[in-house]
Amino acid sequence: LRYDKSHKVETRRRVVEAAGRRFRRNGIEATGVAELMADAGLTHGGFYGHFPSKEALVEEAVAECVERNYQLFAGRVAQARKEGLDPIEVVLHAYFSTVYRDLVEDGCTYAALAQEIARHPPKTREGFSEGVTRMFTLVAGLLPQSWSEDRRQQTATAMFSMAVGALQLARAVHDPKVSEQILEAGLSSALALARG
């Protein structure tokens, strides 16, 4: 044996992470294998020692982005609770903000990839779908306990859809004023939905 096995595992992890960032920033199709290997400090040839194809990496990178998003969110919720704040308010303010709008490469996986994912093979879409339903459930858990399970799930789903749509439109629009109005409108309506 040459390197200890952790070496290759670590390199692979670095490639997946670099891919996740690039995919969110520039899109999956627009990101070349050579480009993301360079991000990980490697040359393109080594790629196929880690993955059988670009699509295999896409699948893994999407799953990693989804997981990372979930952890980030769950972390914020836990911290809000520790500080005695309403988690749903903290989370919504974080989401519908110019900071999150501009944080593309480390930002929301769903706003960044939803459109492109729809044209990828089922396996890739499965990881994405699982992430979506987990987010729905996480948000539903932050809504009033007095509501029925169904109502919470439904409201959470709608709120999350609104968050994804608002982030995307806020990014697409060229007038910064309109962009901010989209975020503000989304925030206040999402808060209204959360309060019933």
Partner DNA sequence: TGTACATCAGTGAACGCGCGTTCACTGATGTAC
Per CB under 8 A, residues contacting its own copies are 26-27, 29-30, 110-119, 122, 125-126, 128-129, 132-133, 153-155, 157-166, 168-169, 171-175, 178, 181-182, 184-186, 188-190, 192-193
Kindly state the smallest distance separating residue 19's Cβ from DNA, in Å: 10
41 Rama sector, left if φ>0, alpha if ψ -120 to 50, beta otherwise = left
Of 3 and 172, CB closest to DNA: 3
From the list DNA, its own copies, none, partner contacted by residue 105 (C-beta under 5 to 8 A by kind) = none
DSSP string, 72-124: HHHHHHHHHHHTT--HHHHHHHHHTSHHHHH--TTS-HHHHHHHHHTTS-HHH
Kindly state the smallest distance separating residue 40's Cβ from its own copies, in Å: 22
Kindly state the smallest distance separating residue 9's Cβ from DNA, in Å: 10
Of 65 and 182, CB closest to its own copies: 182
Residues sharing a CB contact under 8 Å with residue 131, sequence separation 6 or more, in sequence order = 63, 66, 67, 69, 70, 109, 110
Q: Which of helix, strand or coil describes residue 144?
A: coil
From the list its own copies, DNA, none, partner contacted by residue 184 (C-beta under 5 to 8 A by kind) = its own copies
Q: CA 138, 191, 118, 42 torsion: positive or negative? A: negative
Kindly state the smallest distance separating residue 114's Cβ from its own copies, in Å: 4
Within a 13 Å sphere around the CA of 69, how many CA atoms are in the beta-carbon half? 33
Q: Where does this chain bind DNA (CB under 7 A)? A: 1-4, 7-8, 11, 31-35, 37, 42-50, 53-55
Of 97 and 157, CB closest to its own copies: 157
Kindly state the smallest distance separating residue 44's Cβ from its own copies, in Å: 21
